[in-house]
Structure 1
Amino acid sequence: MKFIVDNWMLLLIMLSSGGMLAWPMLRGANTGTLTAQGAVQLINRSRAQVVDVRDPEEFAAGHVTNSKNVPLNQLEEKLPTAVKNKTVPLILVCATGARANRAVATAKKLGYEQAQAIAGGLKGWKDANLPIEKT
């Protein structure tokens, strides 16, 4: 007990630094975000399916190559027909990542346990100098 009383400041620093180190890991686990490079690895190694949850006009202006467009407001009805295999990783993307993070919760509710959103959305994808296509 004397040690704790004598070294309370060191213990406080230890606990706060541990919390700061753990925070990004805990936050990332809840949002389902992954880097653009991580998404490429999932696509190449696990045949992940990319679903763009933006509106069709935004999708036509530019999107991840071979991605499917299922707008966020139609996700519950159209995702099961767009991506039939619920066991493959599902990568969700939008313009900045906000809509895709909401879509992760919907996809997991529908049974897509490996659903994740790309950090930063299509902007993060472009910032990583990865290709996009236009329709």
Structure 2
Amino acid sequence: MERWFEFMGNHPILFGILAVLIVVFVIMEGKRNGRKISPQSLGILVKAQNAMLIDLRDAKDFREGHISGSRNIPYSQIKNHIDELKTAGRPLVFICNLGQVAGAAVQQVAHADSYRLDGGISNWKAQGLPLVKSK
């Protein structure tokens, strides 16, 4: 740690550049993955703006448990639905297992008002929120 402070003192310009690059990286990563919405805020968005919930998991996982009112469009088939989703006149919320795939879907669809569920279904379950099972 002492050597780190010595480096900062001897090379303030390099340290400044490093700090700026770290901040830019964090900002760009946040934008790349789309806006997050918490499980608590999801219900508010659905009720207030009639948000469309898109579950990107495969049909088997969807049947085992999904958020009430969500529609299953597996990520492998998202390209077939891009035009339909882009023209939706309401917010879109993409849901996957952990939130990473949903971030990629937000980018692909490029809908002006779209979100990804923060932490995905795993976070939803961890917070004890209900899932609906299909028959």
- Relative to structure 1, the CA distance from residue 79 to residue 20 in structure 2 (aligned partners, 3 Å threshold; closer, same or farther) is closer
- Relative to structure 1, the CA distance from residue 134 to residue 22 in structure 2 (aligned partners, 3 Å threshold; closer, same or farther) is same
Segments of 4+ moved more than 4 angstroms: 16-27
The alignment yields a C-alpha RMSD, in angstroms, of 2.8
- Relative to structure 1, the CA distance from residue 36 to residue 28 in structure 2 (aligned partners, 3 Å threshold; closer, same or farther) is farther
Count of aligned residue pairs for this structure pair: 125
- Which secondary structure state, in structure 1, belongs to the residue aligned with residue 93 of structure 2? strand
Which string of whole-angstrom CA distances, capped at 9 and with x for unpartnered residues, describes residues 92-123 of structure 1? 00111111111111121xxx211111011001
Is 1:88 equivalent to 2:109 in the alignment?
no
* TM-score (normalizing by structure 2): 0.72
- Relative to structure 1, the CA distance from residue 74 to residue 128 in structure 2 (aligned partners, 3 Å threshold; closer, same or farther) is same
Is 1:119 equivalent to 2:118 in the alignment?
yes
Q: 2:103 aligns with which of 98, 101, 113?
A: 101
What is aligned with 2:39?
Answer: 36
- Which secondary structure state, in structure 2, belongs to the residue aligned with residue 133 of structure 1? coil
* TM-score (normalizing by structure 1): 0.72
- In 2, are the aligned partners of 1:86 and 1:113 still within 8 Å (CA)? no
- Relative to structure 1, the CA distance from residue 29 to residue 120 in structure 2 (aligned partners, 3 Å threshold; closer, same or farther) is same
What is aligned with 2:49?
Answer: 46
Rounded to whole Å, the distance in 2 between the matches of 1:36 and 1:123 is 11
Rounded to whole Å, the distance in 1 between the matches of 2:83 and 2:40 is 26
Question: Displacement, 1:127?
Answer: 2.0
Structure 1, unpaired ranges of 5+: 1-15
One-letter identity of the residue aligned with 2:122: K
